[in-house]
Amino acid sequence: MSRLTMLIFAVAMLTAPATHAHALCSGGTVAQEFREATIVVRARLVSQMDAWDDEPSSEFEARWGDGGLVSLYGLKVLQVFKGAPGPRVNVYMPHDSGAFYLDPDKDYLLFLNRIPPYRGRPGAAEGAFTVNYACGQSKPWAEVDRSTLEQLRRSGP
């Protein structure tokens, strides 16, 4: 791809509204996703680092991946429903059809799994989590209904 095409794509990705991708859907219930998740938390986005390079160096690839747009979200944990995360967790999110985009200063209900070690894993993903399903039960906290909260409290620690 030409640099101009990549630049247009990057600008489009950065200016697109933050919505949840409609790929990687679980179709699962709160209880099912709760069982599958390593941690379930209410968290707030407090930092975001984005990286993109259409001609990545080996150093860039080792840190961020293949050069496509990725974000490393820093989240402050406000409430724990499952697991034992620290007060802050990182979420590594490639911008693709399975992405779950977060907005600053908003709270989210997140069903997260730690990214497993694998050969060639980007350094930024080390120790980070990923959202189970882009269009599953993870959602902005403002969209969490009473029934979901009751299920989480019954299932939680």
Determine the Cα–Cα distance for residues 43 and 116; give it in Å rounded to an integer.
21
Q: All domains of the chain, ordered by start, with CATH?
A: 19-155 (2.40.50.120)
Residue 121's pLDDT band (boundaries 50, 70, 90)?
A: confident
Reported as half-sphere exposure (CB side, CA atoms, 13 A), residue 69 has a value of 18
Say which residues have a Cβ less than 8 Å from residue 108's Cβ, sequence separation at least 6.
Answer: 42, 43, 44, 45, 75, 102, 138, 139, 140, 141
Span 126-154, pLDDT tens digits: 999 999 887 889 999 999 999 999 999 88
